[in-house]
Amino acid sequence: MPSAREMLPTPYAEATSGEDKAFSKRVERIDSQRRFWTFVSTIRYAPSIRFWFSIAAPTSAGVILTNWEYSSLELAIAIFFINFLLLIPPNISSVFARMSARHRLQLRIGGFKSKEAYPGVERILNTLHERVLRERVRMFSSLLAALSLFAVWELETGYILGQILISLAVILGFICWFNTFYLEGSIPMRSRRFPLLSLHAPTLHDSILERVLTEVLVAHLDPETAGSWDDWSTELSTKVRDGHEPAAALEHMLAALHLSARGLLSDKEMIHSIKEVYKISAMDFLTDSEIKININTIQGLLAHTRAWQPGLFRLIDRLHDSSKNGELKLSENNWRMDLDLPPRSSDGQSDLFVMVHNGSKSDMTIEVEIVTAHGEPEVQTLRVPCRKTETKQIVTLDGLLDAALVLWIGVAWPSTVSGPHPVQVTINGDDGITLSSTIVHTTLTSSLHPESAGVRMTDAAEAVRKLALSVSE
């Protein structure tokens, strides 16, 4: 017999459902336009052609000012106008990308949970809005430059006014080139499955990672993908074998996928490892190419996460390698601490990862002290529980990670500070005795380098794209 709540009338249910379907269809129409114009903008050699035309345009106008006998006003006008036409597709693409992202983030997950509740939404929308403005600036700069040169060619402007208009065209051409240099490096929303992923940068995360691979992967998901991941992992949790926790099973699968990506497990061994914790029926669910999140796309998400946080994965790989080589010794009172800080830190901030294994006889609360020379703050102290390492846990990679205390600490310096700086990490027991202490160094720089935020974001997007192309082939 239905409950009283189920018998209550819901006069707005059908209307709400109809509105959701209509809005979803509108999002799909906008997204199809985005995909089309993004495809047109990224046709082979198109970005390179736009880049070289943006250089040729101001150059052709600048040559006119030198009164070189081979300079041509008509040629300069033609180059600027062709450049304007070439910039129309990426401009339209950026407009549809912003519309698509805004509408996607307004959709509700399962009809209840808004994607706008996830962190990083404002950053994604602001990034796309800035791109629209830059696209318009470079397109209209090229058009105005062409009109300035056309006025010199068609009207009797006189020498002084003519020189001013040609100089204006050169300036506008350089503005166009500068924005082209900035924009053509990465065109966003090129992935069909995870279009917003390349625009997301992690903002909020826990300092203590309980399920290391799972939590760091989720921290780097954009709001839309994070919502899909929540729904997918909830459904996957019903397919776990008896005697295994859903969270532990997911961590075990991610560890197997990571080892497979490193070439340490064959595809057959990877599938066998996953079957140890998931039922046979789960394999159809995990390998279904029609589902947004499956084994192949998770590999892409892991590649994206590795590009963002190479330091953490260096720790994980060193832990696994030392275990396999017999170098991992966790005997009585033998504490193991490993940490990673990027050799270069941009914009006065960086991510410090600390991994601690408790080799004592019992669980204890330890004090982790992080001293950052000239940092903000200069000293950070955390009191955290640290479980003793069980010997049976150090067999598999996920067991090794579960046995460890893993900390993800943000470190920062004032914008006026630069050059090499040491960071000291010390762990003290509950009795105040120092158990381990290590010093690492990083160089503060404002320029781009392989582990700067901008480069990591570009590398992360490229890693997902390359993996998606290899899978489709």
String of DSSP letters for 115-150: GGGSTTHHHHHHHHHHHHHHHHHHHHHHHHHHHHHH
Among 26-35, 180-189, 227-236, 248-257, the least confident range: 180-189
Answer yes or no: is 302 within a domain.
no
Q: What percent of the chain has pLDDT over 70?
A: 85
- Of the listed ranges 31-35, 325-329, 386-390, 461-465, the one predicted with least confidence: 461-465
Q: What mean pLDDT comes out for the span 276-301?
A: 90
Comparison of pLDDT for 445 and 20, the residue scoring more: 445
Instruction: Tell me how many domains the chain contains.
Output: 2
Residue 192 has pLDDT above 80, yes or no: no
CA 31-466-119 angle, 5° bins: 55
Q: Distance from first CA to last CA of the chain, Å, rounded?
A: 54
CA distance 261 to 299: 8
Confidence of residue 182 (pLDDT cuts 50, 70, 90): confident
In a domain, 238, yes or no: no
Omega before residue 377 within 30° of 0, cis? yes
> In terms of residue numbers, what domain contains 53?
11-187
pLDDT for the residue 454: 58
**Where is the domain boundary, 128, 162, 187?**
187
pLDDT for position 468:
54
Mean pLDDT of 402-408: 91
Mention every residue, 6+ apart, whose C-beta is less than 8 A from residue 108. Answer: 20, 114, 115
Q: Is 351 exposed, middle or buried (0-12, 13-18, 19+ CB in 10 A)?
A: buried
pLDDT at 216: 94
Q: What is the pLDDT of residue 324?
A: 84
Per-residue pLDDT at 8: 43
Mean pLDDT of 175-181: 93
The whole-angstrom separation of Cα 249 and Cα 255 is 10
Q: Identify whether the C-beta of residue 291 lies closer than 8 Å to the C-beta of residue 236.
A: no
Q: Which of 278, 195, 271 is nearest to 240 (CA)?
A: 278
Domain boundary among 144, 162, 187: 187
At residue 117, what is the residue type?
A
What is the pLDDT averaged over residues 78-105? Answer: 91
Q: Reply yes or no on whether the pLDDT at 164 is more than 70.
A: yes
The pLDDT of residue 171: 95
> To the nearest 10°, the Cα dihedral for 242, 247, 249, 255?
-170
- Report the CATH number at residue 364: 2.60.40.2550
Task: Indicate if the pLDDT at residue 108 is higher than 60.
Answer: no
Does 98 reside within a domain? yes
Instruction: Answer with the one of 146, 161, 187 that is the final residue of a domain.
Output: 187
Most confident of 6-15, 156-165, 253-262, 446-455: 253-262
Would 53 be classed as within a structural domain?
yes
Q: Which of 316, 330, 329 has the alpha carbon at shortest distance from 396?
A: 316
Mean pLDDT of 319-347: 80
Q: Is residue 351 part of a domain?
A: yes
Count of alpha carbons within 13 Å of 376, Cβ hemisphere only?
9
Q: What is the CA radius of gyration of the chain?
A: 28
Average per-residue pLDDT in the chain? 83
Q: Who's near 283: CB < 8 A, 6+ residues apart? A: 271, 274, 275
The answer as to whether 51 is a domain residue is yes
Confidence grade of residue 127 (pLDDT, cut at 50, 70, 90): confident
Ranges 195-204, 238-247, 370-379: which has the least confidence = 195-204
In-domain check, residue 196: no
Rounded to two decimals, what is the model's pTM? 0.79
Residue 274 is predicted with a pLDDT of: 93
Tokens of 177: 């080139």
Residue 251 belongs to a domain: no
